[in-house]
Structure 1
């Protein structure tokens, strides 16, 4: 029983250490990838700043830099937490090994002292010959032999413990050095983040009238995307509601006919199905088993959905923001990506709408009670009513009206209410 408990404890500890190692490795890869993206943005910003008419593009790059810088600081915080845990575990291990080593040394010192006091061959022979019989003499001889062997094993054990202790101390010092390096890097990132925010503020103040006009044009596009999306979802809900009302009316008519027939026959009215209470929007959109399953599967992938583009960074997040006195509201994410980047569906579903919005296209895909919206597309490769699969290409991203950067706008709705897509997409 004790062996089983010890084995289970070993399995748990090993699994925890392995999980932590994987987490630390993954965090390091994320930090390196973010650093590479930041370096690329820094080069682009330097090119843009040489053009005095590119303030709007500078703002876009700065927003992307700030977002990535904040993510990098979060990743560093995660790495520091892992290192703190590792330092704590290694410190405990060092103390434990030191205690074991001290105990082994004390026991070995006692054995050495005993051996010194009985080192002469005469004493050993007397110890053997003083036995009462041959059997006892044999046992005393074996005892002396085993004692010598045990001393050798104890000496080897002390040497092994000392080696393990030295290795753990080296590992502990290495971890502390790594933590110090990360903390220094973190302070540099925080300092750079502050400078970037100041630069963003200055760039916003330097917006020209033409650039402000472009911002308002972008607002108009976003408003139209919002209007079309609301119209599509409301039409879907209205159709489901009308179908529900027709079903309820049929039940009421059935009840009335049954009551009339019973009255004519002089009988009690038969029990018929009751009219179903008015359903919520979510219940309407999940009315069929297929829709309910699709919604459940979509919800089950929260935090793991693929990005609508294979490579890119968020330049504008979800919610309300101000740019030089111009208040804007984003129902989704602006994702800056590569030129002519394919845009893909983040989950399986059915295309509800493909529409032209002031020169670019938008696509709405239905996933049960959830809807995803992809706008600022240059081309489309799907049509309304078509079923799409996860990561299927549905079009290509277009240039942003203000910055000329290739960008896709991505939104997510649950039964008509916009939700922040950032918490649904997988970490990158």
Structure 2
């Protein structure tokens, strides 16, 4: 049962990864006519390579588990065959003994030769028990034969499944090699002028840091606003009403189960400090996640709350900030906004449209705050 559950989990994960690759391929096809920068291309290839690697790993785990199950089934078959052989030998000996007994004297004579009624009764019971035992042996052989046939059928199915997984893994390996070849080609081009690309990364990081600082300033301003008419002197946490405490509690109880802020998409860049894909000596810091989605994708609320800010920070597209008790979700890089400050919103309500860049990338920058501190969205969003 444990192996069967593990196999189901692996199959679920494998299908998730396959759907992820389908999304990547669909978005690539959608933006095929767009001229992308080398930095954007390397990010795309790097992500797909990581997903392909995970798919190969999961498929290998499935194949290994199937091998283990096949070996177990093979041992069961060997054991059952040996057991069946002994049962048949025992049954044959019993039939022969019964036949000889019939030749020597009839059952009636066997009963009539009893010394008394009690002995005759016991002999009758013995004859019944012996007949029942013969019948039980026959039924046991029949059941063991059926069990052996079922295990053999299961074994054939498992072997077919394993062969399919191996064949699929070969295709995935071929795709991975092609992706890696293109990745190496782009990286070789980048290395010829690494200093230029390093400067671009630094500039983008500085711009992202500037926007993050501005968002943090807005969050602190909202905290100060919430504490204005209370006795709280904290500058890092919200003073909550009873209703807001309930909302925050509900938000926390849904940790790991919140819906994605877009209907379709995948995480192109993750939260926190990570080395640059171009220059490993550089560290890239993100206060949220970058979610690649389809063109004209709608941004949607991940939980009930109130819109506290609709703003466009200098040199960036509009963003929406939604408060859920002492938690805030931020939806950046919108081309259109459908809500205004003070609006009450519910889970999955559409609040705007994600902006598409000149290069064809449609990316939502999504982040979560607990009071003045950022949180990893992957810990909150379902299967992120």
State the partner residue of 1:416: 372
State the partner residue of 1:267: none
Aligned mates of 2:288, 2:112 — CA distance in 1: 95
Aligned mates of 1:165, 1:104 — CA distance in 2: 14
State the partner residue of 1:382: 339
Report the TM-score, using the length of structure 1 for normalisation: 0.73
Contact 1:94 / 1:168 at 8 angstroms: preserved in 2? yes
State the partner residue of 1:350: 306
Aligned mates of 1:53, 1:303 — CA distance in 2: 34
Contact 1:321 / 1:327 at 8 angstroms: preserved in 2? yes
State the partner residue of 2:140: 157
The aligned runs of 1:24-103 (5 Å cut-off) are 26-37=12-23, 39-40=25-26, 47=32, 54-73=37-56, 75-76=58-59, 79-80=62-63, 83=66, 86-87=69-70, 90=73, 94=77, 97-98=80-81, 101=84
State the partner residue of 2:276: 322
Relative distance call for 1:189 and 1:133 in structure 2 (3 A) is same
Relative distance call for 1:285 and 1:57 in structure 2 (3 A) is same
The aligned runs of 1:140-289 (5 Å cut-off) are 140-141=123-124, 143-179=126-162, 181-182=164-165, 185-186=168-169, 189=172, 192-193=175-176, 196-197=179-180, 199-204=182-187, 206=189, 218-219=204-205, 222-244=208-230, 247=231, 281=236, 284-285=237-238, 287-289=240-242
Contact 2:238 / 2:326 at 8 angstroms: preserved in 1? yes
The answer for unaligned runs of 5 or more in structure 1 is 1-12, 249-277
Aligned mates of 1:59, 1:25 — CA distance in 2: 29
Q: Cα RMSD (Å) of the superposition?
A: 3.8
Other structure's SS at 1:230 match: helix
Contact 2:223 / 2:235 at 8 angstroms: preserved in 1? no
Aligned mates of 2:60, 2:248 — CA distance in 1: 35
Aligned mates of 1:85, 1:116 — CA distance in 2: 46
Q: Using the TM superposition, name which of 216-225 and 158-167 deviates more.
A: 216-225
Cα deviation, residue 157, structure 1: 2.2
Aligned mates of 1:216, 1:404 — CA distance in 2: 22
Matched, 1:105 2:88: yes
State the partner residue of 1:251: none
Cα deviation, residue 320, structure 1: 3.1
Relative distance call for 1:210 and 1:407 in structure 2 (3 A) is farther
Cα deviation, residue 120, structure 1: 1.4
Relative distance call for 1:317 and 1:102 in structure 2 (3 A) is same
Other structure's SS at 2:220 match: helix
State the partner residue of 2:294: 338
Relative distance call for 1:143 and 1:180 in structure 2 (3 A) is same
Aligned mates of 1:180, 1:280 — CA distance in 2: 61
Q: Report which of the two structures shows the higher radius of gyration computed on alpha carbons.
A: 1
Other structure's SS at 2:307 match: strand
The answer for unaligned runs of 5 or more in structure 2 is none
Other structure's SS at 2:355 match: strand
State the partner residue of 1:309: 262
Contact 2:311 / 2:319 at 8 angstroms: preserved in 1? yes
Relative distance call for 1:135 and 1:327 in structure 2 (3 A) is closer
Report the TM-score, using the length of structure 2 for normalisation: 0.80
Contact 1:31 / 1:76 at 8 angstroms: preserved in 2? no
Relative distance call for 1:103 and 1:323 in structure 2 (3 A) is closer
User: Per-residue CA shift, 1:31-82, capped at 9, x if unaligned?
Assistant: 442353355467569x46xx87653443343134124324424543563575
Contact 1:73 / 1:189 at 8 angstroms: preserved in 2? yes
Other structure's SS at 2:105 match: helix
Aligned mates of 2:68, 2:307 — CA distance in 1: 48
